[in-house]
Structure 1
Amino acid sequence: MTVKSLLLAGGTLLVGAQAASASGFQVNLGGQKNNGMGGVGVGLSLDQAAMFYNPGALAMVRENGVQLGANFALARVSFRSADGGPQRELEDQPIVYPFNFYASFGPKDGNFRAGLAVYTPYGSSLSYGSSWEGRYSLTEITLRSVYVQPTASYAITPTLSVGAGLTILVGGSVNLQRDLPLPTGDGHIELDGKAKTKFGYNAGIFFKPSDKLSVGVSYRSKINAQVENGDVTLSGLPTAGGASAPVTAQFTATSFGATLPLPALASIGIGIMPTDKLTVGLDASLTFWSDYRNLDFTFSGNNGNAGPSTDANSGLVGNRTFSSSKRSYQDALTFRLGGQYELDEKLTVRAGAALDLTAVKDGYVTPETPDADRTILTAGLSYNLSENFGIDASYQFNSFKERSQTQQDLLDNGTADRVAGTYKTNIHIPGIGLHYKF
């Protein structure tokens, strides 16, 4: 049997489960005000969302407050096969709903602030359907995750503050589906897994030497994401017995496990306040994706190779109960620029832009991560309904550079477990939020 089946499916699952903190499935939607300003925030102390961007800045947010926000991410994915034909949109994509909640408390004139953040930094949903050329690599993927971050921040001096938060993955799930090209007709596989609770940290330093300038640095630690006893569900397999028995015997796995390094992220940001009404921010981030070299999986039973083998890439997913898929990611930079202007005491408007460089090398693009260098344009506003209560709105447009790979590229890199062709992706992300200060 030479058909591949579970290897890429397993790779898709964990790539989605990580939903990286840089390119790929990055969700940099920590706060509605920041979203409207190109995603800047490391060098600013706008509000309680500082817990996400730079915990060190929280102590400089003098007002206690609570805020809640939600975003609505809709991806548009097009694909053109390397075998030719027109580039076409791949069905209607589902909407993903990242959200965030922040609350901070502390003495009004004190140097200490404590807070709690709940957010969904990793979330994605793509649907390719069963008619596209790469249906044997992927038909659907859905990812959900929830992070909780208790945070503390202290102002050492009136101009210098530090802070740190414990990042906790308290809930994560992913569902992946793909077709199987069996000799007896197409089958179907579904992988469903839940991530274990894992811990990391998010720390930062914030320095504001004057009313016109602020600087911040932050570091988010590497976390090893782990899935154990994920479910493997197969359908459309031939009835056992007779000529179909050898095919059926190759699929006995009912569960899988895998571990994936989620890379560290280092960021620096600058805030400039030329006037009391205008604020400008500039951020630069580096994600250490080079830790992500291979993706290895273990399975509870046969996974498409009924015969003995010592080749981890043989059969459908490798040597009976093990598979390995190359990733060979590279460290990736992101640059963000944005600003806000207070038109009056009730209305503030925002705009921004970002350049997010891909971590995926040529010849390594996968359907679950049709990643490429992307340009991001944003806009937003806040309207204060009262002295303490207001509404925040934002919009982001992500335009991915067209990304192509040939079958020869895949053969040269040893990545023939994915699809040759050209991808083009756009993402629209409107958002809405409420804030209350006290």
Structure 2
Amino acid sequence: MNLKSLLLAGSTLLVSTAASAGGFQVTLAGQKNNGMGGVGVGLSLDQAAMFYNPGALAMVRERGVQVGINATMARSAFRAEYGGSQRELRNSTVTPFNLYAGLGPSEGKFRAGIAVYTPFGSKLQYADGWEGRYSLTDITLESVFVQPTVSYAITDKLSIGAGLVILAYGSVNLQRDVPVQDQQGNTGHVELDGTADHKIGYNAGIYYKPSDKLSIGASYRSQIDAHVKSSNGDVSFSNIPASLSSRFTAKHFDVTLPLPATASLGIGVTPTEKLTIGLDANYVFWSKYKSLNFTFDGPVGGATTSNSRREYKDAVTLRLGGQYQLTSGLTVRAGGSFDFSPVKDGFVTPETPDADRLGLNLGASYKFGEHFGIDISGQFINLKKRTQTQAELASNGTTDRVAGTYKTRIVIPGVGLNYTF
């Protein structure tokens, strides 16, 4: 048995394949931003600036509270290299959410706030009997990040801000089949269930508005290493024949996954009082993710360690979007993005069948009176068809994954409520 393939799915600790960014990064943090292709670094739209650029928060004139939720609905298919029927994932929906509260004196230079969001999370359930079932059958991931933030306007044109990024909660459940059968003919199965340690990083930014028609922003979100230590990571087996039980005795696992740093630049243009356009470029330092290493407290298929190569490369996402105020209460939005995948050829895994992706976005807001408003958004994401061959896997030393072709399309509706004061 190839131990590497046993826990291939572990590379998805706190990750997402059904979201709006490459690799396992997600940017569904603000409902208004979601309708504009995910732009926000060079804008000061609302309290979601805490995520996109903390430096812009001080330039948000209104204090407020907002909450939003999205539903990522992916349709993914796989066809093995040497033919056979097309395999599709069983239907699943993930619901990342966001919550922001921004406070400060109405005419002052100081703003503070708290942000709660879910930038990593996924649920994948491959079809029964699919060719990669010995690598992955099911995965469920959950995470919650909390970010207390402060921002200060040095002048009426320049502001800075920073926040602590706290991994407050993270959990993962991974399952796959084992190529053995018990006396009743049931296929062996392994399940990993773990909770990540609390970790702290930071998010900092600067925002400059030289004129009423132009704004510029830059931000940097630090890397956080998500760590499941052995006391919080459980391993369980089922349908293992008694004759092989001594090779499957592990009870716990230990693993660390880098959640990469991101540097972003953004420009905002306001040609007229009613029209706002944003352009963002995100640079993600994926190259820190070289390999995934597991340690077990007992044998898993006869071994107590596992190493699986990842060799990700740094990648860029480009975003463009805008909004137009149709009436005093109604604002409409549109945008798009192009995300270059960090996954090299021959390194695609079943839990992250990533590829270059094109996103198209629409959104709208309606304000009820002076204080209450509703934001809606919709996204369509098309991942380029991605094929890897057995020859590529053998050449790269990555035969712990599956040769074939992956294709994914994603629809993400979202809705949010906001209150300003």
- The TM-score bracket by the shorter chain reads over 0.9
Alpha-carbon distance between aligned partners in 2 of 1:69 and 1:4, rounded to the nearest angstrom: 43
What is the CA distance between 1:430 and its match in structure 2?
Answer: 0.2
How many residues of Structure 1 are paired with residues of Structure 2 in the alignment?
A: 414
Q: Structure 1 regions of 5+ residues with no counterpart?
A: 306-319
2:335 aligned counterpart, secondary structure: strand
Whether 1:336 and 2:315 are equivalent positions in the alignment is no
In structure 1, the partner of 2:172 is 174
In structure 1, the partner of 2:86 is 87
TM-score, normalising length from structure 2? Answer: 0.96
1:140-195 residue CA offsets vs partner (Å, 9 max, x unmatched): 11110000000000000000000000000111101111100016552011111101
Aligned partners of 1:161 and 1:205 also within 8 Å:
yes
In structure 2, the partner of 1:218 is 219
Alpha-carbon distance between aligned partners in 2 of 1:367 and 1:207, rounded to the nearest angstrom: 43
Alpha-carbon distance between aligned partners in 1 of 2:328 and 2:373, rounded to the nearest angstrom: 11
In structure 1, the partner of 2:310 is 327
Describe how 1:308-387 pairs up with structure 2 within 5 A. Answer: 320-387=303-370
What is the CA distance between 1:9 and its match in structure 2?
Answer: 4.9
Superposition RMSD in Å: 1.3
In structure 2, the partner of 1:42 is 41
Alpha-carbon distance between aligned partners in 1 of 2:413 and 2:312, rounded to the nearest angstrom: 30
1:302 aligned counterpart, secondary structure: strand
Alpha-carbon distance between aligned partners in 1 of 2:218 and 2:8, rounded to the nearest angstrom: 33
What is the CA distance between 1:262 and its match in structure 2?
Answer: 1.7
From 140, 147, 150, give the equivalent of 2:148: 150
Greater than 3 Å deviation, 4+ residue runs: 7-11, 18-22
From 397, 403, 419, give the equivalent of 2:386: 403
Describe how 1:176-325 pairs up with structure 2 within 5 A. Answer: 176-182=174-180, 186-229=187-230, 230-238=233-241, 240=242, 244=243, 247-305=244-302, 320-325=303-308
Aligned partners of 1:18 and 1:260 also within 8 Å:
no
Alpha-carbon distance between aligned partners in 2 of 1:109 and 1:192, rounded to the nearest angstrom: 50
Aligned partners of 2:181 and 2:240 also within 8 Å:
no
In structure 2, the partner of 1:418 is 401
Shifted more, 77-86 versus 189-198: the winner is: 77-86
2:27 aligned counterpart, secondary structure: coil
In structure 2, the partner of 1:125 is 123
Alpha-carbon distance between aligned partners in 1 of 2:351 and 2:6, rounded to the nearest angstrom: 9
What is the CA distance between 1:321 and its match in structure 2?
Answer: 1.2
Aligned partners of 1:257 and 1:297 also within 8 Å:
yes
Alpha-carbon distance between aligned partners in 2 of 1:396 and 1:349, rounded to the nearest angstrom: 14
Aligned partners of 2:337 and 2:359 also within 8 Å:
yes
Identity of aligned residues (%): 63
Alpha-carbon distance between aligned partners in 1 of 2:174 and 2:410, rounded to the nearest angstrom: 20
Aligned partners of 2:173 and 2:192 also within 8 Å:
yes
